[in-house]
A and B are shown apart, each in its own frame.
Chain A
Amino acid sequence: MNPFNSFSIKNKLIAIILTVTFLTTGIGFALVVINEINHMKEDLIEKSNLTAKMMGEYCVAPIVFNDVDGIQEILKKINSLPNVITASVYDVNGALMTSYRKNDDLKIHEMLKQNVKATFKGDYLHFHRSIDNNGENIGTIGLFVSTTQMEKEIYSSIQTMLLLLACLITLSYFLATSFQKIISKPINSLRMVTKSISSSVDYSIRATKTTNDEIGGLYDDFNDLIEQIQFQQEAKDKAEEKLREHSVNLENEVQKRTIDLSKQMEEVEQLNQAMLNLMEDQRITNETLSTTSHQLRETNKELEAFAYSVSHDLRAPLRAIDGFAEMLFEDYGEKLDAEGQHQIDVIQQSARSMGALIDGLLKFSRLGRKGLHYSRIEMFDLVKDVLEQIKLTSSGIKIDLRMTDLLPANGDRTLIKEVLANLLSNAVKYSKQDDSIPITIGSRTEKTENVYFVKDNGVGFDMKYVDKLFKVFQRLHKPADYEGTGIGLALVQRIIYRHGGRVWAEGIVNEGATFYFTLPKEKDA
């Protein structure tokens, strides 16, 4: 970078002024000195010319009369001229006639060529002038003039000029130092204003204009600029304030949310813990359950085996009781009065009833062990078969069967028949013995299973006791009113469960009951 650029404006101005002053004055002085040197030279030539002319005039007569001594006498007159060192006179042909030297060391110079009048050579001026007499050239006078004096004068003149130049430069330095303030002061004060604005960040500060020149214009421009900046700064400050508020709000919000979130996290954690505990509990429960279930299964098996053997063993004495009661009635019935005969009849009936109970228990207990034999069942046909059997066992009953097309089912035909037989016989049993019994049988299909129902208009039941319906030996009605073993619905439930279905019932007292069961669709055999 130009080192001049790092100067302050003050120094730049001073430097410029000094440079201009130095250059102009220096050039001026140099021209003056050159001019003076030229003048001095011309002056010296002129003086030499006069000397030569005068001496030449004096020499005319001696030359004409060929008086060398006379010439010599005249040439000696240069003794009164300090600058003239030698003087010589040549004849018309240019041959030296005589010469006079102040200093013998000096050589006599040869005559200059024609038309060269004067020449500066070394410390001397060689000067020649023709000597005329009445317009006729009769010879030449030559002078050897020392220029030392002139040089001294030139040096002294240069010294004076340099001294003057130094004085002027000094003067102009002081003037420049005081005048530069006119320009640098407003700039510096503008700079101070700029500094104070930038350090205090106070854009309300304004520069006070003092001049009407370009710098004054700069002040105006600067003030305009600062005003714009101030305006923008204020807008920016407002925006920042808003932003800060927003950010504070946002922070609060975030903090709140974070707290909420951590709370939620804690809750989730707690929930997780709870769930883990729960799972642990469940695992334990499951373990217990599986143990229990295993034990239960074992107990069940034992129970079934027990029930089977009991039932089986109970049948033999029952048959004996029934058979002997029969034989007693046949052999000795005539000997007995009506009361005795009736008592035998009661014995027989009770024995048969107990046999039916034992059959039911056998079926029920067998169900736990038997495998299922799946096949496609046309429910419509199956219902018809069951109704035929019911009509056979209970004579004089009219059934008003309302049956839509039943969906075919997939299951163990024997067991499903047992289900239908139980439900239908129940419907008949608990209906009022009017002229015909209305029974509705229907089905509908759902996602994974088919739903079947059997509806009657019988005595119905109180929904309070719906839980008891499907339990063994649980009866909602007195055995005196309705005969039955109390095993039927429990059997139904057991069969349907084994098929993977569900059983439930809806009922209203004295208005009827509806029994539902479901069977899974397309269950592989």
Chain B
Amino acid sequence: MKRLRTTFKTVAILLFLVQLQTSFAEKNEQLVKAIFLEKFTQFIDWPSESTIEDSSSPFILGVIGKNPFGTNLEDIYSSQKIKNRKVEIRYLSNIEEIEACHLLFIGKAKKDIISQIISYTRDKSILTVSDSKGNAKRGVCINFYQDGEKIRFEINQTAVQISGFKMSYKLLKLARIVKPVKSEL
């Protein structure tokens, strides 16, 4: 319990600091992105056949490529649950390790590696997030981008659909849609 309280305090202080130092965008930006990861999951339903249904198992958050968050993820998700489950953060180095992940943040990497990863996760119910320009087009589900001082994101609707996710229109409304799914109607 003491540890938990200490963690809360730490988070609170951190958030406080983040808010104070908005001009110091760089650090702040990474924190916001880390927080956004969980927010995305609020609007997305994993396919029923995925392992996400087992509530006793943890939500596995994988990071591949260069980790931009520092310790932000641990700071946040040691207490914050995702999809009502404990979060297990995994820093991956092999593509094979990706399979267990529910959410995969793709850090800065070479384009061919990214393509590799994308093609690997393409038909799997793994939500891919990145913050590199053009990644959405390449096939990453959600991709951060900078709009002035604001952090925004773009969504590859087709990729999301192929992965079998059901994404809320609410999220879609907020995002810049890349490769939209043409309505059949």
How far apart sit A61 and B171, CA to CA, in the bound complex (Å)?
A: 6
| Interface membership of B173, Cβ < 8 A | yes
Task: Tell me if B43 counts as interface (CB < 8 A to partner A).
Answer: yes
CB contacts (< 8 Å) of A57 on chain B: these are 170
- Judge whether A60 and B36 touch: CB under 8 Å: no
Whether B42 is near chain A, meaning CB under 8 Å from some CB there, is yes
Residue of B nearest to A68 (CB): B150
Q: B36 to A61, Cβ gap below 8 A?
A: no
Residues of A54-104 contacting chain B, CB below 8 A? 57-58, 60-62, 64-65, 67, 69-70
Provide the bound-state CA to CA distance between A58 and B174, in Å. 9
Interface string of B36-48 (1 = CB under 8 A from A): 1001001100000
Q: Which bracket fits the contact residues of A?
A: 10 to 19
In the complex, B132 has a CB within 8 A of chain A: no
Docked CA distance A69–B150 (Å)? 10
Q: Does B55 make an interface contact (CB < 8 A)?
A: no
The residue among B36, B39, B173 with the most chain A CB atoms within 10 A of its own CB is B173
Mark each residue of chain A from 38 to 67: 1 if its CB lies under 8 Å from any CB of chain B, else 0.
000000000000000000011011101101
Instruction: Flag whether B67 is at the interface (Cβ < 8 A).
Output: no
Partner of B42, one of A62, A69, A134: A134
CB distance from B11 to the nearest CB of A (A): 16
Q: How many A-B residue pairs have CB under 8 A?
A: 23
Shortest C-beta distance, A68 to chain B (Å), equals 10
Interface residues of B in 158-185 (CB under 8 A from A): 168, 170-171, 173-174
A349 to B43, CA, bound (A): 217
- Check B174–A133 contact: CB distance below 8 A: no
- Complex CA–CA separation, A58 to B36 (angstroms): 18
Known: A133-B42, A134-B42. A65 touches B36 (CB 8 A): yes
What is the bound-complex CA distance between A135 and B150, given in angstroms?
28
Is there an interface contact between B39 and A64, defined as CB atoms closer than 8 Å?
yes
Complex contact A65–B170 (CB within 8 A): no
In angstroms, Cα B41 to Cα A64, docked, is 11
Task: Give A133 to B39 CA distance when docked, in angstroms.
Answer: 11
Task: Tell me the dominant secondary structure on chain B's binding face.
Answer: helix
Taking CB atoms, residues of chain B closer than 8 Å to A60 are 170
B41 nearest CB neighbor, chain A only: A134
A67–B149 Cα gap in the complex (Å)?
Answer: 12
Chain A residue numbers with a CB within 8 Å of B36 are 65
Q: Residue A58 contacts which of B39, B150, B170 (CB distance < 8 angstroms)? A: B170
Distance between Cα atoms of A67 and B35 in the complex (Å)? 14
Q: For the complex, give the distance between the alpha carbons of A123 and B170 in Å.
A: 33
Within B128-163, the residues touching A (CB, 8 Å) are 150
> Hey, which chain A residues are within 8 Å of B168, CB to CB?
61
Give complex CA distance A361, B168 in Å: 199
Q: Are A67 and B42 in contact (CB under 8 A)?
A: no
> In whole Å, how far is A318's beta carbon from the nearest beta carbon of chain B?
210
Q: Closest B residue to A59 by CB, please name it.
A: B170
**Cα distance A185–B174 in the bound complex, in angstroms:** 83
Query: What is the bound-complex CA distance between A60 and B40, given in angstroms?
Result: 12
Q: What are the residues of chain B within 8 A of A65 when measuring CB–CB?
A: 36, 39, 174
Report Cα–Cα, A67/B153, bound state, in Å: 12
Bound CA–CA A67/B174 (angstroms): 9
Interchain CA distance A67-B39 in the complex, whole Å? 12
> How many Å lie between the Cα of A70 and that of B170 in the bound state?
11
CB neighbours of A69 from chain B (8 A): 150
B150 → chain A closest CB, angstroms: 8
**Complex CA–CA separation, A290 to B15 (angstroms):** 181
Render B8-46 as a binary contact track against A, CB cut-off 8 A, 1 for contact: 000000000000000000000000000010010011000
Q: Tell me which of A64, A67, A134 has the highest count of chain B C-beta atoms within 10 A of its own C-beta.
A: A64
What per-residue 1/0 map shows which CB atoms of B42-86 lie under 8 Å from chain A? Answer: 110000000000000000000000000000000000000000000
**In the complex, what residues of A have CB within 8 A of residue B170's CB?**
57-58, 60-61
Bound CA span A134–B171, Å: 13
- Set of chain A residues within 8 Å of B171, measured between Cβ atoms: 61
List, in ascending order, chain A residues with CB within 8 A of B43's CB: 61, 64
Question: Is the Cβ of B42 less than 8 Å from the Cβ of A70?
Answer: no
Q: How far is the CA of A130 from the CA of B103 in the complex (A)?
A: 30
Q: How far apart are the CA atoms of A152 and B1 in the complex, in Å?
A: 62
Contacts of A126-185 to chain B: CB distance below 8 A: 133-134
Q: Provide the residues of chain A in CB contact with B174, threshold 8 Å.
A: 61-62, 65, 67, 70
Chain A residues 98 to 116 lying within 8 A of chain B, measured CB to CB, are none
Q: How far is the CA of A235 from the CA of B63 in the complex (A)?
A: 133
| Contact, CB under 8 Å: A58 / B42 | no
A134 contacts across to B, CB distance below 8 A: 42
A69 to B151, CA, bound (A): 12
Question: In the complex the two chains form, what is the Cα distance from A62 to B36 in whole Å?
Answer: 11
What's the Cα separation between A133 and B83 when bound, in Å? 12
Rounded to whole Å, the gap between the CB of A69 and the closest CB of chain B is: 8
| A64 contacts B173, C-beta separation under 8 Å | no
Distance in Å from the Cβ of A84 to the closest Cβ of chain B? 20
- Measured CB to CB, the closest approach of chain B to A71, in angstroms, equals 10
- Which B residues are in CB contact (< 8 Å) with A61? 43, 168, 170-171, 173-174
Residues of A within 8 A of B150 (CB): 67, 69
Q: How far is the CA of A61 from the CA of B43 in the complex (A)?
A: 8
**Closest partner residue, chain B, to A70 (CB atom):** B174
A61 to B153, CA, bound (A): 12
CA distance A60 to B170 in the complex (A): 7
Cα-based distance from A494 to B170 in the complex (angstroms): 185
Name, among B39, B150, B174, the residue most crowded by chain A CB atoms within 10 Å (CB to CB): B174
Binding site for B on A (CB under 8 A): 57-58, 60-62, 64-65, 67, 69-70, 133-134
Other contacts beyond A64-B42, A65-B36, A133-B42: 18, CB < 8 A: A58-B170, A58-B173, A60-B170, A61-B43, A61-B168, A61-B170, A61-B171, A61-B173, A61-B174, A62-B174, A64-B39, A64-B43, A65-B39, A65-B174, A67-B150, A67-B174, A69-B150, A134-B42
Chosen A-B contacts, 5 in total, with CB atoms closer than 8 Å, are A61-B43, A61-B171, A62-B174, A67-B174, A69-B150
Q: Which residues of B contact A (CB under 8 A)?
A: 36, 39, 42-43, 150, 168, 170-171, 173-174
Closest 9 CB pairs of A and B: A61-B170, A61-B174, A60-B170, A64-B39, A61-B171, A70-B174, A65-B39, A133-B42, A62-B174
